[in-house]
Chain A
Amino acid sequence: MNFEDQLTVAMRSTAETVTPPVADLVAGGMQRGRDMRRRQMVRRRAMAGAGLLTAGAVSAAVLVAAGGRGAPVITPGVTAPATSARPAITFDPRAVVRPDQTVALAIDHMIVVGGALDRHDPAAAAGPWTVVVRSDNGSIGHHGAVVTFPVSAPTTGQPTPVGGVSGAASTGVVIWPIAGQYARIRGDLTAPELVAIAADTSVVSGRPTVHPPRGYAVVSSGTYQSPDIRESRYGSTGLGVAAALGDGLTYTGVTTGGGFEDQLYNTGVLTQTTVNGKPAVVSSVLGGNATLAWEPAPGIIAYVGYSGALPDDKAITALRALAARTQPLSLAQWQTANPQSNDQPNIFG
């Protein structure tokens, strides 16, 4: 089979593994279509009015159009599935949810109807498995590493001894044989540090276990992929952040799984910052143009991100402000938002 034929097969395999969110696509497409029709109508009316009025009256017509600007349904560029014009489920701002019981987030104590998405990955529980390790001065995506087991055999890398076996080392990554398969450690630590942690890794009942050297601690362990990513989505215009983020989509959610931090080390972070005093990172790991992520509790990743404008300083400032507007939700609260559930591979990166 030549390369072109293989590419066709590979594209089919890749495309067919995703489960398209058809209901959401239809609802969102119709919503946008309606918004486009309204904007078109407003433009036509404004043009017709302008044709009839004198130069002085043209100014008045502009004011009429400007009056329409206050109605979110005709605001140019509303492209996200949720806007402030749509009905919303609200949450009691006084409700307290423990950080380790946070399963989702809402901005401004509300989720727009149709804006809640539960991205469920049925295959996540089958592995691979991860252990997140950080140095004593580490934080999310910083001064740490992620051990993943099992992974594919290495195809590149310098032969490197790892606890009596030969592994393969590349920049920030070591892959070595263990328990009849391969494990990988990836992080921003030095090569000797990565090798030392790798050497302190064992596999028990098919899962990696790390007893890290002095100065390092295991932060969390679990699946690589997140079994559930619960995400609330809004129109950036409806949230009043279009000036900084563009007129696209703003989303916030909670995920788990060591894959997120592994991909932070793989792709790199755009910048490090804080959210409510906690270390946070801005990256493109969760898709969109940029996502700000932080840890409410070990192993639980909260995030707010967007697709729209370029991720410049203004956008990052807006993301931090949005993070401050988020409210943690329990599973019971989340379910009142009637989330749409999609089965899909929750692959980061």
Chain B
Amino acid sequence: VDGQRADFVEFAAARGGPLFRSAWLLTGDWHLSQDLVQETLGRMYRSWRGTSRIDDPAAYAHTVLVRTYLSHRRRRSNQERPSSDALPDVPGPPTDDDTTNLRLTLLDGLAHLDRVDRAVLVLRYWEDHDVQTTAELLRITPGAVRARSFRALRRLRLILGEDLLTPPAPDPHLTPPGIGGQR
């Protein structure tokens, strides 16, 4: 029993970080991410008999995470709150030295998607799964993955703009004094 426990601790310590990062992209919320990963690890621990009984425990844990996310207390769907229509200072592309803006912009955009669409993008573009694997993980058809992916990307483009990584050219009328613009 002690050996199994140590085995699990080693596994959880190794996989906790990647699971949390996936949860962070799925929820955009520190508490919910923590809650989701602990729930996932708890389910793994409940039936833990060592890694030998599961072909790929890391992949299995990610499957548990995603399915827990999709079924995780539907009551929490209110976390996916829409941003205001005006999005007054959603910075769009970030400045070179501002990773905080990048995070807020991306998470803000992802927050506009429904849970399954968001999961599709995270599985496809963060976890690098192909359409077939994504479909199996989400228990939907490959066609549904393609359709949801297309729809979600289109919506993200509308929210974030076509260029996610390059800073926007400032409005010349708004260029601050002292850096080459008008006063």
Given known contacts A12-B126, A248-B73, A152 and B171 CB-to-CB distance under 8 angstroms: no
The A/B interface has a contact count, at CB < 8 Å, of 246
Q: Does B40 contact A (CB under 8 A)?
A: yes
Q: Is the CB of A32 within 8 A of B38?
A: yes
From A26, A153, A251, give the contact of B168 (CB < 8 A): A153
Inside 8 A of B92's CB, which chain A residues have their CB? 155
Find the B residue at minimum CB distance from A119: B30
Q: Is the CB of A30 within 8 A of B41?
A: yes
Q: Does B143 contact A (CB under 8 A)?
A: no
The count of residues in chain A whose C-beta lies closer than 8 Å to any C-beta of chain B is: 85
The stretch from B51-59, B103-111, B132-140 touching chain A is B103-111
Q: Is the CB of B101 within 8 A of A10?
A: no
Q: Is the CB of B178 within 8 A of A4?
A: no
Q: Does B114 contact A (CB under 8 A)?
A: no
Q: Does A243 contact B (CB under 8 A)?
A: no
Inside 8 A of B5's CB, which chain A residues have their CB? 30
Inside 8 A of A168's CB, which chain B residues have their CB? 171, 174
Q: Is the CB of B177 within 8 A of A180?
A: yes
Q: Is the CB of A248 within 8 A of B38?
A: no
Q: Does B170 contact A (CB under 8 A)?
A: yes
From B20, B76, B103, B163, give the contact of A347 (CB < 8 A): B103
Q: Is the CB of B89 within 8 A of A173?
A: yes
Within 8 A of B (CB), among A8-37: 8-18, 20-26, 28-37
Inside 8 A of B141's CB, which chain A residues have their CB? none
Q: Is the CB of B163 within 8 A of A6?
A: yes
Given known contacts A4-B125, A173-B88, A180-B176, A79 and B153 CB-to-CB distance under 8 angstroms: no
Q: Is the CB of B42 within 8 A of A13?
A: no
Given known contacts A3-B164, A251-B31, A10 and B102 CB-to-CB distance under 8 angstroms: yes
Residue-wise interface mask of B (90-121) relative to A, using a CB-CB cutoff of 8 A (1 in contact, 0 not): 11101100111111101100000000000001
Write the nearest CB–CB distance from B134 to chain A, whole angstroms.
14
Q: Does A151 contact B (CB under 8 A)?
A: yes
Q: Is the CB of A171 within 8 A of B104?
A: no
Write the nearest CB–CB distance from A115 to chain B, whole angstroms.
12
Given known contacts A164-B183, A246-B75, A6 and B168 CB-to-CB distance under 8 angstroms: no
Q: Is the CB of A307 within 8 A of B86?
A: no
From B8, B88, B173, give the contact of A171 (CB < 8 A): B88
Given known contacts A170-B89, A287-B32, A32 and B45 CB-to-CB distance under 8 angstroms: yes
Write the nearest CB–CB distance from B148 to chain A, whole angstroms.
14
Given known contacts A7-B164, A153-B171, A29 and B41 CB-to-CB distance under 8 angstroms: yes
